[in-house]
Amino acid sequence: MKKLVLLSLVFILCINCKSNKEEVVIEQKSTPLEREEIIENEIYTAYLNEVTKCSEDVVAMSNFNDKNETWSICENGNESRVIQIKSYKENVFYKEIYFEQNNDLVYAEESINQIEINHFKSGSWKCGYYMNNGNVISLESLGHGKTEDDEWSPELIFEMYKKRLSELSQIKE
């Protein structure tokens, strides 16, 4: 029995060693762009895993920014949280998503859609931000919007996030 336990332990350690060696090899062979894509993929996969467990039920309403806003907050108990804020003003609809892991913002998404009454969407913009160690490491922008403005900086997402956390703390139970 002792030999079986010892053999199992050695087998597990070998697998772990191999896994660690593969990670080192990936890091050594990867270019900075490839490492960025690996991190981006890990972040987005974690976000998708969490958001699929979430309900889109509205848990709060606000009008902090002169818009009617609905808040959906999902905490799955494994050190992650997804905050979704949807709002509109006149014919413009906004959506913000903040995904935290271990109290750090690792992914954010914002979108703006223009829709006239009794019409389909006529204009849209969407941007996804990937963060690591408090920095935006990459982003993906689609459509026409903020990212086309010379004054725009992707780091502004952190200010938006902090502002939203402040607003969240003002919502009454």
Kindly report, residue by residue over 8-51, the tens digit of the pLDDT.
Answer: 433 444 444 444 444 444 455 578 778 888 888 999 999 999 98
pLDDT exceeds 90 at position 79: no
* Cα R_g (the chain), whole angstroms: 21
3-class secondary structure, 96: strand
CA dist., res. 60 & res. 69, Å (int):
8
7: region left, alpha or beta (phi > 0 left; psi from -120 to 50 alpha): alpha
pLDDT exceeds 70 at position 91: yes
Prediction pTM value: 0.77
87 touches 65 (CB < 8 A): yes
Query: Are 26 and 61 members of one domain?
Result: no
Query: Are 78 and 147 members of one domain?
Result: yes
pLDDT of residue 28: 59
Q: Is residue 96 part of a domain?
A: yes
When pLDDT is cut at 50, 70 and 90, the band that residue 166 belongs to is: very high
Chain-centroid distance of CA 21 in Å reads 29
Query: Are 103 and 25 members of one domain?
Result: no
Determine the average pLDDT of the residues in 145-164.
Answer: 87
When pLDDT is cut at 50, 70 and 90, the band that residue 73 belongs to is: very high
Query: Are 21 and 68 members of one domain?
Result: no
Give me the domain span that covers residue 93: 50-170
Chain-centroid distance of CA 133 in Å reads 14
Only one residue has tokens 């969490």, namely 50
Q: Is residue 76 part of a domain?
A: yes
When pLDDT is cut at 50, 70 and 90, the band that residue 121 belongs to is: confident
Q: Is residue 79 part of a domain?
A: yes
Query: Are 86 and 136 members of one domain?
Result: yes
pLDDT exceeds 60 at position 5: no
pLDDT of residue 104: 93
Q: Is residue 35 part of a domain?
A: no
CA distances from 60 to 85, 123, 157, 159 (A): 10, 28, 22, 21
